[in-house]
A and B are shown apart, each in its own frame.
Chain A
Amino acid sequence: EAGVAQSPRYKIIEKRQSVAFWCNPISGHATLYWYQQILGQGPKLLIQFQNNGVVDDSQLPKDRFSAERLKGVDSTLKIQPAKLEDSAVYLCASKETGGEKLFFGSGTQLSVL
């Protein structure tokens, strides 16, 4: 079974630039999550999708972050403009309907200079 795919693996940008991350969840998983993990901390939920609808985006900084999940499959997370404090690993995870455990991708490590 293929896992959660994320790209790119690493990204280095300058502040005020924009960046986008891509995630393809496990086939058939209706729930998709984006987490932000700052070095030394646990993952913090940014946004959760159920199919192509947003379930929770209460911790997404909407003035600079946006996410979409067109057609309820893969998803993109965008930051525009980036700030130094956005340097983190961005993790995508998926879960099947009725399931309780999350399956994570390897993440995208973002460095904002």
Chain B
Amino acid sequence: SQQGEEDPQALSIQEGENATMNCSYKTSINNLQWYRQNSGRGLVHLILIRSNEREKHSGRLRVTLDTSKKSSSLLITASRAADTASYFCATFVVDYKLSFGAGTTVTVRA
């Protein structure tokens, strides 16, 4: 079974708008990571947030983590056509095992 679940499953926005997606997970974690997958490609690591952090920024990405609610959110600001992809949250349950959610598919319209 998958550890994380993303919400919404799909998101369509206009270029320049912000995109927000959420991830809920089930068990205690060491860290939570977000990955992007362009169509027909492998996953690319975007950002990692540790269990003792609440918010982290990287360029146009902002990630929050609420361990009491076992949830995280990823915000992409000022979206571009190149941001069209599927986004997955992944949790390190133990030191080595990375478990992925089902993903949010984001479409950015020109």
Contact = CB atoms under 8 A, between A and B. Distances in A.
Contacts of B81: none
Given A48-B96, A48-B97, A56-B96, A42 B88 contact: yes
A56 B31 contact: no
Interface residues of B, number: 22
Nearest to B45: A101
A42 B104 CA distance: 10
Interface in A55-109: 55-56, 91, 93, 100-107, 109
Tell me what chain B mostly uses at the interface: helix, strand, loop, or mixed: strand
A41 B42 contact: no
Closest 4 CB pairs of A and B: A104-B42, A42-B100, A101-B45, A104-B43
10 contacts: A4-B42, A31-B96, A35-B100, A40-B102, A48-B96, A48-B97, A50-B96, A100-B48, A104-B44, A106-B40
Given A48-B96, A91-B42, 10 more contacts: A42-B4, A42-B100, A42-B102, A43-B88, A45-B97, A48-B97, A102-B98, A103-B45, A104-B43, A106-B40
